[in-house]
């Protein structure tokens, strides 16, 4: 156990059910040692025993199928399944005749099975349990860290990080003590995550050298996370052949460039044989890319993919490409269109090991956006869907904002295509071979990992949804609460569970209510993006406008009279969004410019909706704060931290309410129908 760091969802007590029993671990394989060590540690703590061979009578058997023959319980389970394989990273779980059995074909599956038993606790050892088969929906479940080695003058060490410094890097070099990285890997494995990127997608000078002379630092991290089934990936600069290789060009079709990538990649694999691959942000917000050479993004991605292919690596090529130097006077350029315009024509032109990583919305991780139309437009490309666990636009880990309900809406969105696929179906692929889910991590060197202790739930829920997108956010919250708080609460976190559900279940919608209305987005302070500034981005080059005037607000993205963005969607969505009659209210101002008097489905006008939701959102935060005062998480320091943050959330929510309401009152001149004070 790591001292000086909050145990998050793996406090020692969650291993009690396992550790109090006789446990048998059978098989070899790289992660079996980890499973054995976990079981041994649990038994040492809670009075059980780790058995050495199959001759005893264990309560829990964790066996690789190749070793199942060594004990009757595992042998019978395998035979009962027709001897069939469970598949990569999967496991079978069953309980019969008083023995709980986890069976896996590979040692990663065994590890995930162990953590399943941890989640079940005593329930894993009660009654009978018919065999259940568990497999990850997608092969790769990944967290990107936007960590810099150096402290960047504007962005700090972790770009969009709200949890202190990096867990990997400090003061221009690697952190000497990587125990925390190991603990992080363990937490991630318990959720199902199996890949991390250790540096920022904006690759600065020092960080670009991780690919070459600083590779040893990456290898050291890989050594720490490997025992938990996690592979390391690296963000690399497209201009590396120039920056690091001394070549005059980074043209992806230049033979010297292709050779440089091949040679460099070979060296990476010599140092890190299970290296995952590259992440590239190219031609985006000032990063170099193939456009400089008149090449396409498929050309760019494929050159890196070819270098990685011999070693089984993948390149995650980001679709976040748009003009960030646009003239706000130009109404024809629409940032929402950019990713589709750039990438949809390239469908089918990416290599198999090139994964196009698409942000879930067409803009940039706003509180409310439609799903990116790119996700429906590239059936012949492996797509990964990118989410943001770090709360850049959702309260920066000072506000409670449980994001799983938003992700769940995104993942379940659809259907589209002949076979009625959802976003999750596209990301996971027909047989787990899709690009998978990726998210920007919210972790730093803060005591609670995530700044706001309750933001741990977002990290937990992301991993679990990446493993199985069908899981329910409220159930995931229960899992997280039980693991994190039950041991301290003597096994029954009941009252706390109710409080946390009241605080967290609806917190994303609460946040939406007191911030930017009806999907319009971006009313934040430019630069750091915290707190309200309605016109902050209105006359900037970033393409993020709301167009509010005295008569109305919103962006006309219709084909009939606007930017035509609605036409990027397949039917029925191209029609649903195009028409005021069918466009969902929560996205109204994303797709349409409407008068303040436009009537929403619940009968309220747009202007009245803005007033009502902003007053209501603040009330909800105030209520959360009252509830938390009476809550007992069994940890006074944690209680105090959350209380302090709720004070700040309330202050900030009031600021949002007053600025947004005042802004629209002054623009429209329409008073609040309920006569409340608008400053």
Verify whether residue 392 is a known catalytic residue.
yes
Minimum CB separation from ligand GCU for residue 364, in Å? 5
Q: Is 147 near ligand GCU (CB under 6 A)?
A: no
Q: How many CB atoms lie within 10 A of CB 209?
A: 18
What b/e sequence results for 46-82 when a residue is b if at least 16 CB atoms lie within 10 Å of its CB, and e otherwise? bebbbbeebeeebbbbbbbbebbebbebbbbbbeebe
Q: DSSP string covering 421-463, please?
A: B-HHHHHH-TTS-S-EEEEE----SSTTSSSSGGGHHHHHHHH
Q: How many CB atoms lie within 10 A of CB 123?
A: 12
Cα separation values, 554 from 534, 537, 563, 592, Å: 13, 14, 12, 6
Verify whether residue 468 is a known catalytic residue.
no
H helical segments located in 168-254: 179-191, 205-208, 215-225, 240-243
1, 28, 171, 285: the active-site residue: 285
The three-class DSSP label of residue 669 is coil
Minimum CB separation from ligand GCU for residue 398, in Å? 17
Q: Are 354 and 301 in contact (CB under 8 A)?
A: yes
CA distance 190 to 178: 19
User: 390 or 450, CB closer to ligand GCU?
Assistant: 390
Minimum CB separation from ligand GCU for residue 286, in Å? 10
For tokens 């221009």, the residue is 172
Q: Which residues pair with 63 in a beta bridge?
A: 26, 103
- x/- contact string, 360-399, with ligand GCU (CB under 6 A)? ----x---------------------------x-------
Minimum CB separation from ligand GCU for residue 159, in Å? 5
User: 281 or 557, CB closer to ligand GCU?
Assistant: 281
Q: Is 316 near ligand GCU (CB under 6 A)?
A: no
- Cα atoms in the Cβ-side hemisphere of radius 13 Å centred on 331: 11
Q: Is 513 near ligand GCU (CB under 6 A)?
A: no
Tokens of 619: 């009330």
Q: Is 320 near ligand GCU (CB under 6 A)?
A: yes
364, 369, 425, 620: the active-site residue: 364
CA distance 407 to 418: 24
Tokens of 212: 């070459």
For tokens 């949002």, the residue is 656
The gap from C-alpha 204 to its chain's centroid, in whole angstroms, comes to: 23
Radius of gyration from C-alpha coordinates of the chain: 26
Minimum CB separation from ligand GCU for residue 369, in Å? 13
Q: Is 201 near ligand GCU (CB under 6 A)?
A: yes
User: 159 or 425, CB closer to ligand GCU?
Assistant: 159
Q: Is 145 near ligand GCU (CB under 6 A)?
A: no
Q: Are 22 and 42 in contact (CB under 8 A)?
A: no
Minimum CB separation from ligand GCU for residue 281, in Å? 5
Q: Is 281 near ligand GCU (CB under 6 A)?
A: yes
User: 542 or 569, CB closer to ligand GCU?
Assistant: 542
User: 336 or 486, CB closer to ligand GCU?
Assistant: 336
Q: Is 202 near ligand GCU (CB under 6 A)?
A: yes
Minimum CB separation from ligand GCU for residue 250, in Å? 19
105, 144, 369, 392: the active-site residue: 392
- Cα atoms in the Cβ-side hemisphere of radius 13 Å centred on 139: 16
User: 51 or 364, CB closer to ligand GCU?
Assistant: 364
DSSP secondary structure letter of residue 416: B
CA distance 31 to 19: 19
Cα separation values, 253 from 24, 245, 300, 343, 352, Å: 55, 16, 8, 19, 18
Minimum CB separation from ligand GCU for residue 335, in Å? 11
Minimum CB separation from ligand GCU for residue 409, in Å? 21
Query: Could you say which of 105, 147, 159, 612 contacts ligand GCU (CB under 6 A)?
Result: 159
Q: Are 86 and 135 in contact (CB under 8 A)?
A: yes
- Let me know how long the chain is: 679
Minimum CB separation from ligand GCU for residue 529, in Å? 7
Tokens of 153: 């003058």
Verify whether residue 629 is a known catalytic residue.
no
Q: How many CB atoms lie within 10 A of CB 303?
A: 27
Q: Is 160 near ligand GCU (CB under 6 A)?
A: yes
Residues acting as catalytic residues: 285, 364, 392
Interaction site with ligand GCU (CB under 6 A): 159-160, 201-202, 281, 320, 364, 392
């Amino acid at each position: 156990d790591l001292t000086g760091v909050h145990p998050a969802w793996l406090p020692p007590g969650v291993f009690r059910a396992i550790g109090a029993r006789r446990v048998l671990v059978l098989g070899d394989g790289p992660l079996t040692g980890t499973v054995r060590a976990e079981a041994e540690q649990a038994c040492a703590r809670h009075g059980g025993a780790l058995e050495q061979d199959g001759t005893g009578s264990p309560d829990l058997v964790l066996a690789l199928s190749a070793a199942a023959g060594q004990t009757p319980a595992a042998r019978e389970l395998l035979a009962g399944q027709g001897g069939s394989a469970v598949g990569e990273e999967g496991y079978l779980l069953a309980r019969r005749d008083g023995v709980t059995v986890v069976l896996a074909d590979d040692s990663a599956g065994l590890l995930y099975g162990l953590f399943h038993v941890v989640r079940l606790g005593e329930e894993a050892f009660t009654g009978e349990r018919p065999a259940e088969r568990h497999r990850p929906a997608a092969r790769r479940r990944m967290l990107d860290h936007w960590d810099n080695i150096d402290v960047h003058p504007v962005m700090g060490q972790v770009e969009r990080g709200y949890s202190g410094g990096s867990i990997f890097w400090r003061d221009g070099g690697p952190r000497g003590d990587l125990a925390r990285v190991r603990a992080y890997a363990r937490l991630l494995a318990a959720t199902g995550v199996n890949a991390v990127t250790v540096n920022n997608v904006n690759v600065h000078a020092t960080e670009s050298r991780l690919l070459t002379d600083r590779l040893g630092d990456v290898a050291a991290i890989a050594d720490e996370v490997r025992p938990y089934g996690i592979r390391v990936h690296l963000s690399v600069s497209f201009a590396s052949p120039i920056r690091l290789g001394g070549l005059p060009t980074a043209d992806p079709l230049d033979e010297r460039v292709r050779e440089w990538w091949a040679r460099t990649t070979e060296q990476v694999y010599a140092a890190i044989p299970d290296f995952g691959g590259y992440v590239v942000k190219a031609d985006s917000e000032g990063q170099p890319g193939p456009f400089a050479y008149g090449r396409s993004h498929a050309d760019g991605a494929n050159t890196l993919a070819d270098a990685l292919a011999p070693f089984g690596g993948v390149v995650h090529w980001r679709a976040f490409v748009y003009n960030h130097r646009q003239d706000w006077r130009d109404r024809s350029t629409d940032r929402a269109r950019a990713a589709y315009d750039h990438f949809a024509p390239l469908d089918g032109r990416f290599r198999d090991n090139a994964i196009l990583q698409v942000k879930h919305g067409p803009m940039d991780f706003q509180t409310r956006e439609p799903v990116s139309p790119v996700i429906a437009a590239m059936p012949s490309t492996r797509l990964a869907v990118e989410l943001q666990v770090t709360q850049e636009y959702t309260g920066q880990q000072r506000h409670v904002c449980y994001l799983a309900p938003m992700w769940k809406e995104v993942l379940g969105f659809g259907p589209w295509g002949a076979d009625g696929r959802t976003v999750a179906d596209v990301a996971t692929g027909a047989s787990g071979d899709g690009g998978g889910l990726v998210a920007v991590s919210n972790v730093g060197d803060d005591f609670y990992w995530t700044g706001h202790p309750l933001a741990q739930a977002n990290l937990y829920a992301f991993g679990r949804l990446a493993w199985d997108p069908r899981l329910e956010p409220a159930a995931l919250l229960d899992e997280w609460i039980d693991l994190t708080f039950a041991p301290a609460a003597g096994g029954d976190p009941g009252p706390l569970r109710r409080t946390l559900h009241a605080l967290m279940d609806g917190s994303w919608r609460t946040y939406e209510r007191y911030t930017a209305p009806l999907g319009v987005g971006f009313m934040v302070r430019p630069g750091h993006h915290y707190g309200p500034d309605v016109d902050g981005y209105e006359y900037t080059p970033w393409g993020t406008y709301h167009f509010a005037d005295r008569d109305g607000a919103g962006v006309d993205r219709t084909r009939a009279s606007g930017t035509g963005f609605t036409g990027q969607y397949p039917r029925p969505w191209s029609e649903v969004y195009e028409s005021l009659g069918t466009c969902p209210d929560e996205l109204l101002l994303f797709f349409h410019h409407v008068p303040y008097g436009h009537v929403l489905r619940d009968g309220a006008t747009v202007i009245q909706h803005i007033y009502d939701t902003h007053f209501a959102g603040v009330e909800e935060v105030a209520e959360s704060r009252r509830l938390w005062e009476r809550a007992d998480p069994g940890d006074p320091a944690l209680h105090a931290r959350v209380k302090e943050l709720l004070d700040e959330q309330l202050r900030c929510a009031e600021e949002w309410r007053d600025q947004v309401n005042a802004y629209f009152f002054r623009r429209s001149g329409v008073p609040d129908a309920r006569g409340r004070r608008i400053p």
